[in-house]
A and B are shown apart, each in its own frame.
Chain A
Amino acid sequence: MNRNRILFGIGVLAFISVIVTVRLGGFLVDNEYRQPDRQVAAQEEQGEAELTPRQQGIVDEQAADEAEARARPYEEAEYRAVPFVGSRVTVWVLAQLHLLFAAFVLAVPLFAFIIEFVGYVKKEERYNKLAYEFTKLLSVSFSMTATFGAFLTFGLIILYPKFTNYLMHIFSPTFLPYVLLFFLEALFLYSYYYGWGKFGPKMHLFLGFMLNIVGTAIMFIANAWLTFMMSPGRRDDVDGDGVPDFVSAVSESGALLSLRDAFFNFTWMPINIHRIIANVAFGGSIAAAYAAFRYLQAKTDEEKAHFDWMGYVGNFVAIIAFLPLPFAGYYLAAEIYAFSQTLGIQMMGGTFSWLFVIQAALIGNLFLGANYYLWLGMGRMEGGVHFQKFIKWLLIAIALCFAVWATPRYAISSVSEIAAMGGSSHPQLSYLGQMSAKNTAVNILILSTYMSFLLYRRTGRQSVHPHRQLLTRAQAIVFSSAAALVIFYGVYGYFVDSATRIRFAIPQVYSVLAALVVITVIDLPLYRNATQSGETKWGKIPAVSQYALIFIALSFTWLMGLMGYVRSGLRQEWHVYGVVLDTSPDAYTPTLGFATQVVSVTVLIFFGLLGVVFWLSSLGGKKDWEPKTVADGGDRLEGGQAA
């Protein structure tokens, strides 16, 4: 019935559209100037049809344009413009959309493969089904990635022809391998997806493995192009004096000296590491958002249970990858600083440093969202009340760390506030704006989140290990020691010079990573074959948890857009830093407000497209269309609402 109404509505709209179009066309034609008909007929009779001044003007204008076009010599265009939005924003949005879909397409096979492998080892069919559910998202996303990739390539060729030509001069030998790898990726992806259940498990796992290898190789090649733009060369101690020297991959005029140095440039590996980890975190969060979307649509308990579990696994993947991400980001930032103090200062002390305050707010939200989801998840298990009392303390730790991380070194202040503070920094709070406090905060955030996960894992379970008390105490000691060490270095950092302080980040990071590994290694045997006080009720989680998953995915996406802009925008007026200047009208650095608006609009477009991907992916589970039978119609006619 509804469908008929929609069709009727579309028909009415189409009819109105036709009428409006015809009327509009008629109006425009009617208002064009014409000679009086009798005058034209009279002139034609006499064979002396004269042009009106307007017609003559048009003819003259066309002739002048043609003459000018013939006289104009061919010139290579350096840039071309896009009306309203400008060429920079066009390429920016296209590149971001391409990258977001590409990150998703690279990440999902990674954990789909791992989940399938776990299912194969454990001989549990549900893992296999889950991996297939994740893989279903790939097919459409892959097409989207390719479409935006092509869009971006054309965008670059059309809008930045000279610069694109320069990149081709440097990297043309890498293009053919890239295309071949892309072809192989398509082959492995579709054989992995369509071959589900058609091959033996080992063969299918091999396809998944190859898909990951090829996908990662593609990303590594593309990373070389973009990192070259930031650091066109490598650093090496060429003269053996212990001080690194800059080995440029290009000559002063920009000619290629070494493709190897251009490819394996200074920031290539840090970006590779950062992107692999970030892709998995991002992919997991998007897959979890898909599960949340399906959960909220689900009508049966069985569907709810399935998508609740899927959302949990997706979020688990995202959070596990998210925990080491700040370290990878720190490594990348440190390498950028080491490559060029100008870029480093621009990033952390200059214009772009404000974006790191926004980044801190987003990452704090992500941590809060992830913990919140885990706490809500405790409601699935019977016996979850026992750990609820810890939530308060975890929340206090997380909120405090979040606040420390979001504290700017120099606050945005009014004139009277500056006068009261005696400068741009507050006498007490400015301590929280320093690196020591920030590093401590992020490490404690990671430890707190891991603690939430441990509590979630233990909810409703009782260890039967003979040394459970000893092992639990050992875990507590490791956890407390790591936290104490992190805080100790954080405080001690205020009493030493900056070079030593920066080095304190390393023991802080290692102590946290070591604690995560040791506690996990103890936890696995501790809770193996644990007794359960009650069943895990998948699907019995408050609906708000699903919005938390969508919120996490949104925050990840926004964060990627924002940080991508920082990395790219750091070059400022350079296409290739120190080599090729951007001389287009868009060479200026946009305001922070404008940049965040572009990022926000891009994220909205991405989520709009993602909605299409989710919808298309969910079509497979719907019932097949069947033509209405006469009996159906008869029933409807007789029974009214029977259908």
Chain B
Amino acid sequence: MWGLNLPVVLALAAIGGVLAWRRANTLVWLLYTLGALWAFFRFGFAVPIPQSVATIYLGITGLALVCYASSSRERLAETVQPIKRLILEPRYRLALAGLLVALPALAAYNVYADLTVPLEAPGFGREVHPPPPTEMTVHDETIDMATAENPYLHYKHDDPELYAKHLENGRRVYYENCFWCHGDGMGGDGMFAHGLNPVPSNFNDVGTLPILQSSFVQWRIAKGAPGLPASGTPWDSAMPAWEKFLTNEEMWDVNLFIYDFNGYEPRALGQH
């Protein structure tokens, strides 16, 4: 449910319930919180969360717990009290000896675990939106990426008939060339999509087309994967450079069509 591993979550909650019932002291609560969160991040999700994120979360938790324990003299004394008793009172000697063995053993296990991780290729962070150049040249026409807009967009109000013609042309171009990967409904789920990693862009997504100017989309259509910037590599994109197959007008038309099909407007120049 909700992507959680319910037995683990319930087990952790049950331990918390027992601690509350037994009115556990602050130190036990602090140790439980840290341990329970570690177990939750490690085993609590159906899809485990990446180690890098779990480390950030546990770091924040550790810092917060230290702040809490030392936020007043009384609380600090209450937290430290069981540790003092463990060290000083003779009746806890056996437990202390166990702890003295357990701590180095834990450290040793950690070292062992670190050294026996299965070998795998290193992962890499991939940029989602590659930064476009300041200008680009397509079929001998230079486009200023900051200011360029779709030259046919204004027909939407000025000449709806002409606008419809460009849209129709865009539809033709899309279903002849693009839908194989981007899909019939533009969900990035075309028939070739399963063979691609990363998957093709999903144009239905509210986080894709509306936040981009049409010049950006034109850049991606025209230059494809070969035109991606040198920074942020490797891109692993399979997008062809459509300038080799389509005219400027055809590319602007398909640009127009994918916005219109999804009911989005390109981000305007100067829009926040």
Q: Mark A residues whose CB is within 8 Å of B.
A: 235, 243-246, 334-335, 337-343, 345-346, 349-351, 353-354, 361, 364-365, 368, 371-372, 375-376, 378-379, 384-385, 388, 391-392, 395, 398-399, 402-403, 406-418, 420-424, 426-429, 434, 496-499, 501-502, 542, 544, 572, 577-578, 589
Contact = CB atoms under 8 A, between A and B. Distances in A.
Given A341-B212, A410-B126, A502-B272, 8 more contacts: A245-B147, A341-B213, A346-B131, A379-B73, A391-B72, A414-B51, A414-B120, A499-B211
B61 interface: yes
Nearest to A241: B154
Given A338-B270, A338-B272, A424-B126, A350 B231 contact: yes
B121 A415 contact: yes
Interface string B131-156: 11110000000000111010000000
B104 interface: no
B269 interface: yes
15 contacts: A335-B272, A338-B271, A342-B134, A345-B130, A346-B131, A350-B231, A351-B131, A354-B125, A376-B70, A395-B64, A403-B57, A410-B128, A411-B50, A427-B47, A497-B206
Given A375-B71, A417-B123, A243 B269 contact: yes
A345 B210 contact: no
B2 interface: yes
B113 interface: no
Chain A interface mostly: helix
B60 A402 contact: yes
Contacts of A410: 125-126, 128
A398 B211 CA distance: 30
**Chain A to chain B: the 8 pairs with minimum beta-carbon distance, closest first:** A244-B270, A349-B129, A346-B131, A399-B64, A413-B50, A375-B71, A412-B52, A411-B50
B267 interface: yes
Contact of B134 (A384, A415, A421, A578): A578
Interface string B185-214: 000000000000011000000110011110
Q: Which of B47, B48, B74, B199 gathers the greatest number of chain A CB atoms within 10 Å?
A: B47
Nearest to B58: A403
B67 interface: yes
Given A341-B146, A342-B146, A350-B231, A499 B267 contact: yes
Contacts of B64: 368, 395, 398-399, 402
B7 interface: no
Given A350-B131, A368-B67, A375-B71, A341 B125 contact: no
B232 A243 contact: no
Interface string B43-85: 0010111111100110011011001101111110000000000
B270 A243 contact: yes
Given A368-B67, A391-B71, A415-B123, A428 B2 contact: yes
Contact of B53 (A335, A411, A497): A411
Nearest to B154: A241
B88 interface: no
B90 interface: no
A495 to B, nearest CB: 9
Contacts of B52: 411-413
Contacts, number: 184
B207 to A, nearest CB: 5
B31 interface: no
A490 to B, nearest CB: 16
B59 to A, nearest CB: 8
B268 interface: yes
Given A350-B231, A414-B51, A378 B72 contact: yes
Given A345-B131, A502-B272, A246 B231 contact: no
A111 B52 CA distance: 41
B132 A243 contact: no
B163 interface: no
A379 B72 contact: yes
A407 to B, nearest CB: 7
Q: Which of A341, A346, A372, A544 gathers the greatest number of chain B CB atoms within 10 Å?
A: A341
Given A243-B269, A341-B213, A428-B45, A368 B127 contact: no
Interface in B93-132: 118, 120-123, 125-132
B63 A351 contact: no
B134 A388 contact: no
A340 B145 CA distance: 9
B126 A345 contact: no
B216 interface: yes
Given A342-B133, A368-B63, A496 B206 contact: yes
A417 B51 contact: yes
A414 B122 contact: yes
Contacts of A376: 70-72
A346 B232 CA distance: 10
B60 A337 contact: no
A522 B207 CA distance: 41
Q: Which of B121, B206, B264 gathers the greatest number of chain A CB atoms within 10 Å?
A: B206
Nearest to B271: A338
Nearest to A348: B129
A375 B72 contact: yes
A416 B127 CA distance: 19
A544 B70 contact: yes
A317 B145 CA distance: 43
Q: Which of B61, B123, B145 gathers the greatest number of chain A CB atoms within 10 Å?
A: B123
Given A341-B213, A350-B131, A502-B272, A372 B231 contact: no
A171 B56 CA distance: 45
Interface in B1-40: 2-3
A573 to B, nearest CB: 10
